[in-house]
Chain A
């Protein structure tokens, strides 16, 4: 059994890992952070996306032991920031939300994109969301939602 120490949403956090455990399990089961969803468990759908040291990762593919010393940001942390609120509001106003199961991952992907590129084109947005599957929207309104966040959130990124 290993003790893992990391930062989750800005707080020092420690947990123990027994056997094979994924970051997604730690977040959802040990820490009660259920915004990240399990859609496929194999890194294809992106519903479990979180930021690890600022990089977008599929938390279902990250072994819990690998987050020792890392900085993890989930939607529970992002939504308490101006950036998070801006993306959530923009998604809501753009009609980007349908069943909502992919949306937390999409919000995290949007944050990762805007951090790198605060004024993305529609093509750049499509590329940035391409690791996250959505079966409801056909992506158009998600793309608009990210664009709206960039437009409204000038200076935040």
Chain B
């Protein structure tokens, strides 16, 4: 242990990322850059209506070498289902259409232009039904239920304390509705997979986050043993959750074609396809009723949260869990009742996106707390500080906060650096200048006992005779820096320079399953396994011969969780943050100019400060896009904005530099004390922005994005 402590002194110092030069020099090869002999191309053929039944499919005459694969081509013993968390999403629509853009089949052939012209000649006739596109339409079962008899994939209830008794003592009740919209990932590299059949194996080369997910997903439809499916992750140009499950959808259809043709086939999405037909962040609506006593203290909250889950369940129930577990943010409200519903609709299934429900829950919590503060005449930040969770405090799942909560010291840092109190005095409410804050937390790793029960991750380390070591695990580098940070962890423990620690893009043929690259688990959970495996290897390896070591996940012993009732410690640890945004609203154009962004985070310990800052700045700017500009609507059954000219993401001119600060608080079960980071940094900035607009206008802001159009509504409403 003494050794580990000594090494802690330098683990946070930045090194040059191992992949920097190959990427900046244009040497790195993404899936579209890799050539295959006799490569064929695949084009997914999709439904053009949001709901109904396919009556007929008429295919044009196919030139030789061109084939169309559909549900009829699933091999004997195969099933028309994709094995994800649920198996409700079929590979190909059989008859029923649940969303616009659902895969009917895959058209394959040697020339892309010919494929496009053939695709245009495929004629599908439908018997259309009335689709339910919004949360309200889903809840009212417009057009009849899509799922079960109530359109609810999940209907959860949580209770902490005694909300009924507290409401009976209320002096007044404040009601609120907070809403968030869809958000598109806009990973710069669109979805892409090439598959081939070689040596009796179906092999996928994929831009993806979770190689083992693809292997599992494809097994039922291909009628193959999972060991006969190999997934090689290819250098991945961004993902943010968008390449967590959707590659399963592409790979399942592609696999059917490749199994039949026994030729390599590539599916590359164009940007427009990617924006129209891939999943988005779940829209949300959160209703609050909050009981206050005569002094304006919160007695209780009654919360009803709904998310638009779309046409298939995918991971929506777990997103909903994280959303409702986050809906009190960092606050210890004594009495809380929460209902959460994941609503089936006829939109493209909503899916994972950095934060996984937490950004929606936290946005709602933060805005509502600001609204309550302003109703009581208090400064929003000082009001929030009166409710902060502390060590031993109780979460909304009646779990315990096991760590020291450093928010007070973090607030000291960020309020000083941003000049918060001075600016609060300088800009009166309604002055068109504002400063706002958000306070947030993110539970690291899978919910509850998931890391043990569902994943049980394994990591191997190999020591070689030349004195180098290799890390074998299934988590991917997708921009967040794990190719560097995993090496740093192993190198520090083994006393090897980073150049002597190898890590390749994972292939399921040679790495153990350490779980998916999701849930801010890569460093905290998998990095800890790297650290433990390295400690074991160090004991036995003489650096002159081959040796190996393995580590398997162990749950922190204090974590108590009941998955049936959703009671107990939802996460073993939390990471914490505060974001401050200062802005000015132009009184004529109503455009918002962000003047300053400050953020402080507690992530245990940084494995690399430059990589951490890259995550902080990137996550915050992505969240400011979500809060300020990324407007995505559904019209005529599909996403209305579907190019980068009408769905606007931040450019280098839209927001100023992010001033980032860290608070150390090493975590016993993370490598060198590190906790989760990647999602935390997305969770809060949208609320800080909206809170600042609220101050600038002296109006309640209740939804994002806060566009000039919405600001116009706000100032003309009253």
Contacts and interface: CB of A to CB of B under 8 A. Distances in A.
A5 B296 CA distance: 77
Contacts of A140: 613, 617, 657-658
Given A75-B25, A103-B23, A135 B614 contact: no
A98 B26 contact: no
Contacts of A65: none
Interface in B56-92: none
Given A95-B613, A100-B237, A130 B16 contact: no
A135 B625 CA distance: 10
A39 B25 contact: no
Interface string A14-57: 00000100000000100000111111111011010000000000
A157 B113 CA distance: 43
B622 interface: yes
Nearest to A45: B644
Most buried by A among B21, B26, B651: B26
Interface string A75-116: 110010000100111011101111111111001000000000
Interface residues on chain B, size class: 35 or more
A155 interface: no
A135 to B, nearest CB: 5
Interface stretch (B187-195, B218-226, B315-323): B187-195
Contacts of A42: 271, 643-645
Given A95-B614, A135-B238, A37 B30 contact: yes
Nearest to B657: A140
A129 B270 contact: no
Interface stretch (B158-166, B250-258, B473-481): B473-481
B213 to A, nearest CB: 19
A122 B619 CA distance: 21
A135 B480 contact: no
Most buried by A among B239, B271, B655: B271
B186 interface: yes
Contacts of A39: 188-190, 271
B29 interface: yes
Contacts of B22: 100
B523 to A, nearest CB: 15
Contacts of B645: 42, 44
Most buried by B among A91, A107, A133, A140: A140
A142 interface: yes
A65 B436 CA distance: 53
A147 to B, nearest CB: 12
B189 A92 contact: no
A133 to B, nearest CB: 6
Contacts of A92: 16-17, 20-21, 24
B643 to A, nearest CB: 6
B411 interface: no
A143 B614 CA distance: 12
Contact of B479 (A44, A126, A136): A136
B189 A137 contact: no
Nearest to A47: B188
A138 interface: yes
Given A134-B188, A137-B618, A103 B24 contact: yes
Interface of A is mostly: loop
A98 B651 contact: no
B175 interface: no
B244 to A, nearest CB: 15
A47 to B, nearest CB: 6
B643 A34 contact: no
B611 interface: yes
B25 A37 contact: no
Most buried by A among B24, B32, B239, B645: B24
Contacts of A4: none
Interface in B1-57: 14, 16-17, 19-30, 32-33
A97 B14 contact: no
B30 A130 contact: no
A87 B21 CA distance: 10
B37 to A, nearest CB: 15
A97 B652 contact: no
B171 to A, nearest CB: 44
Interface string B153-184: 00000000000000000000000000000000
A112 B617 CA distance: 25
B610 A95 contact: yes
B21 A138 contact: no
Closest 3 CB pairs of A and B: A35-B26, A100-B23, A99-B479
Given A37-B30, A130-B651, 12 more contacts: A35-B27, A37-B32, A38-B32, A41-B272, A42-B271, A42-B643, A42-B645, A79-B25, A100-B24, A138-B618, A138-B622, A138-B650
17 contacts: A34-B29, A34-B32, A34-B33, A35-B26, A40-B271, A79-B25, A95-B613, A97-B24, A98-B480, A99-B237, A99-B478, A104-B26, A107-B26, A126-B652, A129-B651, A130-B653, A138-B620
Interface of B: 14, 16-17, 19-30, 32-33, 113, 185-190, 235-240, 270-272, 478-481, 610-611, 613-614, 617-622, 643-645, 649-653, 655, 657-658
